[in-house]
């Protein structure tokens, strides 16, 4: 018993079936790597930051907004340098030195090295600017909570510590362009810092 379908052409059917099998066996599909959104970084421009009741001044990015820390535990001259468009802030804490520079410097170092569980590397760069301020800039590699920290001092009267934080889960791959941008801003802060 044979079934006849009107208009059916076995040769055309076999050619189409062969073409489908040939095309589908070409290569295996491979999932694409996970990507990150492109972050547009604006050009750098700087403005003076000179809080009148604090014994320091320096330049900050024109993208940044300086906001005093109003937390109940905050001390005078504690500030946030906020980057609203980049979802980041630099926390600044100032201390007057009273024969305790070594204590403050060791505390700053301890806070940096608390990141060793998540950090791939920690690099220390000695900084001395033309205004007689010096300190250390710490670059923390990997997915640490804070990727850049510093302290600056004159070692007799003033001590300023800073730490960069993001309002997101740390991911050094996706945040790399922003970290680089803000680290350059922090280097500018340190180069232009003056004690009053």
**Which of 152, 135, 142 lies closest to 179 in space, CA to CA?**
142
Q: Where are the alpha helices (DSSP H) in 71-170?
A: 101-113
Q: Does residue 33 sit within a domain? A: no
Q: Tell me the pTM.
A: 0.78
- Has residue 28 been placed in a domain? no
| 1 domain-assigned | no
Residue 30 lies in a domain: no
Name 80's bridge partners: 67, 91
**Euclidean distance between CA atoms 24 and 185, whole angstroms:** 53
Radius of gyration of the CA atoms of the chain, in A? 29
Q: 7 or 93: which carries more pLDDT confidence?
A: 93
Range of the domain at 126: 47-195
pLDDT digits (tens, 9 = 90+) for 44-92: 899 999 999 999 999 999 999 999 999 999 999 999 999 998 999 999 9
Q: Is residue 17 part of a domain?
A: no
Q: What is the CATH number of the domain that holds 123?
A: 3.40.1000
């Amino acid at each position: 018993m044979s079934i006849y379908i009107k208009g059916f052409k076995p040769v055309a059917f076999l050619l189409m079936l062969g073409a489908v099998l040939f095309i589908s066996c070409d290569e295996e599909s491979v999932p694409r790597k996970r990507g990150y959104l492109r972050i547009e970084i604006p050009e750098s421009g700087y403005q003076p930051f000179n809080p009148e009741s604090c014994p320091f001044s320096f330049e900050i990015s024109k993208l940044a907004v300086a906001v005093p820390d109003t937390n109940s535990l905050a001390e005078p001259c504690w500030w946030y340098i906020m980057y609203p468009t980049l979802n980041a802030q630099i926390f600044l804490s100032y201390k007057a030195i009273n024969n305790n520079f070594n204590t403050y410097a060791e505390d700053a170092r301890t806070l940096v090295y608390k990141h060793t569980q998540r950090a791939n590397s920690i690099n220390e760069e000695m900084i001395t600017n033309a205004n007689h301020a010096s300190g250390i800039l710490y670059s923390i590699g990997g997915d640490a909570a804070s990727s850049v920290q510093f302290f600056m001092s004159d070692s007799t009267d003033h001590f300023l510590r800073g730490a960069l934080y993001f309002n997101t889960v740390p991911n050094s791959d996706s945040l790399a362009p922003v970290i680089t941008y803000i680290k350059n801003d922090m280097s500018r802060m340190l180069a232009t810092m003056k004690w009053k």
